[in-house]
Structure 1
Amino acid sequence: MDVLDLARTQFAVTGSLHFLFVVLTLGLAPLVAIMHTRYALTGRPLHERRTRFWGQIYVINYALGIFTGLVMEFQFGLSWSGLSHYAGDVFGAPLAIETLGAFFLESTFLGLWIFGWHRLPKWLHVACIWLVTLTAYASALWIMAANSFLQNPVGAVERGGRLVLTDFGALLTNPALAMSLPHVIGAALWAGGFVMMGASAYHLFRRTADREFFTGSLRFGVIVASVGSLVTVGFGYAQFGMLGQYQPGKFSAEPLAGMGLGLMILIGQTLQLLLAFVLLPAVYWLPRWRWAQPLLMAMTPLPFLAAIFGWLAREVGRQPWLINKRLTVADAMSPGLTPGMVTASLIGFAGVLGLLAVVDYLLIARAVRRGPSSVALGAPGPADPAERAPALSL
């Protein structure tokens, strides 16, 4: 491969790996917030245990996902300085807002939620996890605003060989954003629901003692996945009309884009029909069907595969443009790159992100396998000073 193909491969690999973390983060955050709200309203220990268990899985994925995001940032400076030079004033604006105004707030509120158990007032603690969810979705908004500008560059004019932002509101009302953001959010809820289904099915199949715990979690996962599937498929098909206006040949530019689209539709449509006509109508009886539980476990990765295929179709179908009709991928590359340099960074970045993905999977799998009885998040400390270890006296 030449240096251009290597650079494209590097971004595709690292972007796909990073997107796996993002999808699960966006999918689990509102589910944990809903469970915590139920606990605050009812005071039932069962809801507290569910909040802590699924919250710990969310925190594991979030913590490791941060590092994958940092690798993505490095690539813009290393491989795509032409993009920063030509469109940094426009493309960089939503990314800067996402980092400063959403990501930092999200991390702050998540820290307050993690360490606020048994310390913060009940409803203030609940507010923290809802603010985590809102800022996570705000991050998704700004990231998709930047990406939608690449698909359909609006609100900017070229002056002196560079793009200048003239209408910030146009970035937020971009037709490419209006349909793609709900599509991504729906896919995230879909993935989060399937993770909850698969983990719950694992424990129900093993016939662990926490049957009530995982029965409710499995049903909740089916309902969330069903809602996510409707949103994803609905807004996915709704995008085709607009794509015909500003990217009419999107899925015929390369064989790869059409293949990604076809696999995404195949997986998504199959799962939606399964949810609508089998799983959702049988949601009450599903936890009792032991024969179905291995199937639910096996289906857990499918929404993630559909998300990756969809992302590839969205990005590859824009070729040869990085900014549609404005800047080609070749012109966006950093000057002076050699195949050896890009190959080395590709191996390094893919190795780091791949390792993080494996560690994330292993940690989540271990947390799921151990069950709610071994959750460290929110574990109460000694009830009073007398229960603590006595201090040494002289």
Structure 2
Amino acid sequence: MDVLDLARTQFAVTGSLHFLFVVLTLGLAPLVAIMQTIGTFRDRPTMMRMARFWGQVYVINYALGIVTGLVMEFQFGLNWSGLSHYAGDVFGAPLAIETLGAFFLESTFLGLWIFGWHRLPPKLHLACIWIVTLTAYASAFWIMAANAFLQNPAGAVDRGGHLELVDSTALFTNPLLTMALPHVVGAALITGGTVVMGASAYRLFRRTSEQQFFTTSLRLGVVVAAIGVVVTVAFGFAQFGPVGEYQPGKFDDNPLAGAGLGFMILIGELIQFVVLFFLLPVIYWLPRWRWAHPIVMLMIPLPFIAAILGWLAREAGRQPWMVHGKLTVADAMSPGLTPGMVTTSLIAFTAVLGLLAVTDYALIARTVRRGPAAVSLGAAPGSGPDAAPDRAAALSL
């Protein structure tokens, strides 16, 4: 491959691996917040234990996902300085706001939530996880705003060889943002719900002693996944109108984008059929049907695969443009790159992100296998073998 294809491959690999963490983080955050809300206001101890257990899964994924996000930041400086020079005044602003929000606001309140168990008043502690959730979705908004600008550079004009923003309202009401963001949110809810119900089905299939815990988790996961399916499918098909208007031929002229879209829709329809027409109608009996639990477990990878295919379809279909109609991918590349340089960074980034992905899976799988009795997050100091101090729990995560 030439240097351009290598650079594109590098961004596709690192972007895809990073998105695996992002979609699960966005999916689990509201689930944990809902669990803690019910536990706090209805005095439901099981729900509070669920918030701790699934919260530990969330923190593991969040911590490792932050590292993958740092790798993504290197992409623009290493390979795509032409994009920064030409469109950085517009494209860089949403990314900068997202970074400030994620690294300062979101991380601060997540730290308060991790360390605040049994230290902060219950309602104030609950507010922390809701702020974490809202800032996570705000980050998704800023990232999607930046990406939608690449798809359709609304609100910007070319002046002196670079783009300047002249209409911020157009930037944030971009049709390729307003239709795509709910689609991503729905996909995240499917992912979070599927992981929760799949892991719960695994524990129930293994005849866990925590029957009530995982029965409730399984049912909640099915409900959230069902909500996510409806939102995802509705806004997925709603995007065809704006895409056809601003990027005609996006999927017809690009075989990779067309194939990615086709397989994503196929997987989405499969998830929709299983969740809405099989799992949801029998949600009351499902925890007791051991024969159905392997089916639920097999669904876990499907939302991740669909998310990657959707991302590839959206990005590959924009080729050969980096900023649609304004800047080509070739012109956006950094000057002086050689195949050897890009190959080296591709191998290094792929190795690091691959290791993080494997580590994330291993830690989450271990947490699920050990069960809620072994959770350290939020355990009261000195209350038993599963109650390591909060500080040690957080540091270990």
Normalized against structure 1, the TM-score is what? 0.96
Q: Report if the CA contact (8 A) 1:152-1:246 is conserved.
A: yes
Q: CA offsets per residue over residues 69-95 of structure 1, 9 Å max, x none?
A: 000000100000000000000000100
For residues 230-379 of structure 1, the aligned pairs below 5 Å read 230-379=230-379
Counterparts of 1:228 and 1:337, CA distance in 2: 42
Give the Å deviation of 1:166.
Answer: 1.2
Q: CA offsets per residue over residues 1-22 of structure 1, 9 Å max, x none?
A: 1100000000000000000000
Counterparts of 2:298 and 2:272, CA distance in 1: 16
Match of 1:124 in 2: 124
Q: Report if the CA contact (8 A) 1:253-1:319 is conserved.
A: no
Match of 1:174 in 2: 174
Match of 2:137 in 1: 137
Counterparts of 1:64 and 1:169, CA distance in 2: 35
1:375 corresponds to which letter in structure 2? Answer: V
Q: CA offsets per residue over residues 126-152 of structure 1, 9 Å max, x none?
A: 000000000000000000000000001
Match of 2:112 in 1: 112
Matched residue count: 384
For residues 203-218 of structure 1, the aligned pairs below 5 Å read 203-218=203-218
Q: Report if the CA contact (8 A) 1:103-1:139 is conserved.
A: no
Counterparts of 1:58 and 1:104, CA distance in 2: 18
Counterparts of 1:60 and 1:134, CA distance in 2: 19
For residues 55-204 of structure 1, the aligned pairs below 5 Å read 55-204=55-204
Counterparts of 1:57 and 1:102, CA distance in 2: 19
1:238 corresponds to which letter in structure 2? Answer: A
Counterparts of 1:331 and 1:367, CA distance in 2: 46
Task: Show structure 2 runs of 5+ residues with no match.
Answer: 384-397
Counterparts of 2:258 and 2:191, CA distance in 1: 23
Match of 1:12 in 2: 12
Give the Å deviation of 1:314.
Answer: 0.2
Q: CA offsets per residue over residues 270-315 of structure 1, 9 Å max, x none?
A: 1101211111101111111100101111111101100000000000
1:96 corresponds to which letter in structure 2? Answer: A
Give the Å deviation of 1:322.
Answer: 0.7
Counterparts of 1:101 and 1:8, CA distance in 2: 28
Counterparts of 2:187 and 2:345, CA distance in 1: 30
Give the Å deviation of 1:382.
Answer: 3.2
Counterparts of 2:81 and 2:224, CA distance in 1: 41
Normalized against structure 2, the TM-score is what? 0.96
* SS across alignment from 1:281: helix
Q: Report if the CA contact (8 A) 1:103-1:136 is conserved.
A: no
1:20 corresponds to which letter in structure 2? Answer: L
Give the Å deviation of 1:109.
Answer: 0.5
Match of 2:32 in 1: 32
Provide the alpha-carbon RMSD of the alignment: 1.0
